[in-house]
């Protein structure tokens, strides 16, 4: 539950992106970038955001919404929910492998996207043209500062090719990392603006205006804590401009479901808003690099 309505948004205004703070419907400019904020200790970053929020008195600023990242890489954790473990076993037949990942102290953490490959609210996400079984993964994204502290939260979609990863677990990078495979948004809600406790996440897939899949989960079902995942990510990596860490999904469609081009994916959380993306095919089944 949100304690107060405050969020950070990245907007395209002319040729330059800019950051804005929205507080209870009033908007104000935020000096600097997200990278600047995430380089600061958490208390200093909070003061900077609250100072901008205290001056928020304008209406919605002009400009197209952009994904709320600037210099940050996006990483992701997998098999953090029991349903995710079971889904991986279902697609691959490698049951013991995913049991081990789910139960082991060390989590699965992998690189997901460079900043320039991330799409935002309203932009198309992609499914690979050389894959026949593809699903969205609705997740909570942690916005971590340079010290590994949780600065804020956002919604994310870790699009995945189940057919490619199911063929061989070593194909996970191809199943997970490709153009338009990651959407983030619509905004960042600061960690201090969220009540302690679990966050709910809902997923809907619409096709020709009809709902073809729906599901809901809660971070209370996670086998790991946010702090544990962040700690493992920072064990041997540094992120001077901060980083986004996706925390895994607990909503996995059954094996008879696949996403199609033309579908619309909606990811929602009462605390974080709604992230909506249409679906397109990316690449070429014969090896090209075109979108259609």
Domain boundaries, the chain: 6-66, 73-282
Per the DSSP assignment, residues forming a β-bridge with 227 are: none
Q: Identify the architecture of domain 73-282 in CATH.
A: Alpha-Beta Complex (3.90)
Over residues 3-29, the mean pLDDT reads 86
pTM of the model: 0.91
pLDDT in tens, 195-219: 888 999 999 999 999 999 999 999 9
Per the DSSP assignment, residues forming a β-bridge with 66 are: 10
**According to the model, what pLDDT value does residue 12 have?**
87
pLDDT in tens, 25-37: 899 889 899 999 9
Q: How far apart are the first and last CA of the chain?
A: 39
Alpha carbon 198 to its chain's center: 17
């Amino acid at each position: 539950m949100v304690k107060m309505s405050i969020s950070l948004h990245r907007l395209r205004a002319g040729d330059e992106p800019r950051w804005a703070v929205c507080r209870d419907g009033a908007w104000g400019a935020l000096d600097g970038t997200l990278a600047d904020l995430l380089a600061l200790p958490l208390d200093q970053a909070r003061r900077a955001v609250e100072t901008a929020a205290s001056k928020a008195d304008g209406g919605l600023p002009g400009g197209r919404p952009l994904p709320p990242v600037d210099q940050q890489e996006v990483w992701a954790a997998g098999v953090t929910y029991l349903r995710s473990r079971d889904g991986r076993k279902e697609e691959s037949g490698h049951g013991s492998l995913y049991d081990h990942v789910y139960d082991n102290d060390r989590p699965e953490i992998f690189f997901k996207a460079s900043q320039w490959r991330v799409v935002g609210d309203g932009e198309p996400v992609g499914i690979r043209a050389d894959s026949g079984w593809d699903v969205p993964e609705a997740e909570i994204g942690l916005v971590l500062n340079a010290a590994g502290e949780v600065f804020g939260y956002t919604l994310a979609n870790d699009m995945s090719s189940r057919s490619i990863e199911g063929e061989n677990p070593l194909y996970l990078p191809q199943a997970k990392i490709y153009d338009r495979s990651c959407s983030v948004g619509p905004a960042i809600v600061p960690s201090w603006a969220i009540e302690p406790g679990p966050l709910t996440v809902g997923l809907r897939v619409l096709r020709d205006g009809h709902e073809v899949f729906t599901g809901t989960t809660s971070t209370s079902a996670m086998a790991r804590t946010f702090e544990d995942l962040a700690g493992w990510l920072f064990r041997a990596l540094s992120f001077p401009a901060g980083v986004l860490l996706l925390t895994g999904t607990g909503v996995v469609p059954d094996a008879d479901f696949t996403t199609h081009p033309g579908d619309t994916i909606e990811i929602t959380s009462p605390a974080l808003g709604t992230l909506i993306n249409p679906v397109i095919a990316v690449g070429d089944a014969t090896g090209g690099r075109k979108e259609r």
